[in-house]
Homo-oligomer: A and B are copies of this chain.
């Protein structure tokens, strides 16, 4: 820390504070001696910083002996990070459903709420349903709105850095919507909006099927697939935020719409919704030849789109989530065809988080934001954290 000596004292205090907070958060609770050892700071500095953190409500002295066996003599004072000092929301705004997760500052989920939404409702009504779900969630958990430190949101479409939906054809009234700004009116804390598949890949990497790899493609396999990718552990959004929006590929040159693929008659399937598709798949399970052929065409399309992603990106792992992940017989054809056509086939897994993936990823994005504020000062502490 030599380069900071004689520098801005308040910056130094903030860095020391972030370092101590990070050390405390990494353990259940710790003594001042332990914090001194881990951080390399002097004991008086640690004492001063811990007092400040207690005043800020972020750290608390644990009761004597809590979390540790009592030893001989006067026990050392122990302190812990107060994960309950603030809260996070992870929101999903989907075609058929809005959902909200409430988490503490450790990212532990302490409540969930969801509402069905008709796919035809406009943006105002969709957001109203979401606000009602959030209000109910906070009320049940007894968490005041002012305790929220950040809100993450996952939704279909191309999302700008400022939270505006540049293009979102899946939801009525979504293109051009200032989603971050609209939701910001309901919260005093930052609102971070992300593409739904991007949120989902973050979630599977955090606590799902991709915990053990930093190079993963998550396929949100619905009627039209979309994907989110981590490359070296970082979200790959693409130059214009459209990376992984693979849905149009099957249209190229052959107009293979889902309506045509899934039809068991000479006419396109209409209306095309999950219920209609489920009916086709049920017929297939009963041995209906035309339904079997339709299901085969649908799975071939998914295989093709996933193969395109895999050939372009070469991930270590592909995670299949979304509605089509629940279909029988998706995984084996995928593995077989990828093994046949990819020079280096990736592992293929089903999502572990299922329909919670998008909202869980939104929680993680909110948590990332809070951690940047609490634990990182101009990159210095980030580097330390990696080393820790």
Evaluate contact between A342 and B248: CB separation under 8 angstroms: yes
Evaluate contact between A241 and B314: CB separation under 8 angstroms: yes
Name the contact of A312 in the complex, choosing from B3, B243, B342 (C-beta under 8 A): B243
Q: Is A70 at the interface (CB under 8 A from chain B)?
A: no
Minimum Cβ distance to chain B for residue A49 (Å) = 22
Evaluate contact between B231 and A343: CB separation under 8 angstroms: no
In angstroms, Cα B237 to Cα A316, docked, is 12
A304-347 to B contact mask, C-beta < 8 Å, 1/0: 10011101111110000000000000000000010001111010
Minimum Cβ distance to chain B for residue A352 (Å) = 20
Evaluate contact between B243 and A314: CB separation under 8 angstroms: yes
Q: Is A246 at the interface (CB under 8 A from chain B)?
A: yes
A240-264 to B contact mask, C-beta < 8 Å, 1/0: 1111111011011100000000000
Oligomeric state, in copies: 2
Evaluate contact between A304 and B253: CB separation under 8 angstroms: yes
Chain B residue at smallest Cβ distance from A169: B343
Minimum Cβ distance to chain B for residue A261 (Å) = 12
Minimum Cβ distance to chain B for residue A102 (Å) = 32
Enumerate A275-307 residues with CB–CB distance to B below 8 Å: 300, 303-304, 307
Evaluate contact between B252 and A337: CB separation under 8 angstroms: yes
Name the contact of A215 in the complex, choosing from B239, B244, B245, B253 (C-beta under 8 A): B239
Chain B residue at smallest Cβ distance from A229: B312
A75-115 to B contact mask, C-beta < 8 Å, 1/0: 00000000000000000000000000000000000000000
Q: Which residues of B contact A251 (CB under 8 A)?
A: 341
Task: Supply 5 A–B pairs (Cβ within 8 Å), ascending by A.
Answer: A240-B344, A244-B312, A245-B342, A253-B300, A253-B304
The 8 A-B pairs at the shortest CB distance, nearest first, are namely A238-B314, A308-B308, A312-B312, A243-B314, A240-B344, A215-B239, A248-B341, A239-B316
- Known contacts A215-B239, A308-B308, A309-B312; 20 further A-B pairs (Cβ under 8 A): A167-B344, A229-B312, A238-B344, A239-B314, A239-B315, A241-B314, A242-B311, A242-B314, A243-B313, A244-B314, A246-B308, A246-B311, A248-B307, A248-B341, A248-B343, A249-B307, A252-B307, A252-B337, A308-B312, A313-B313
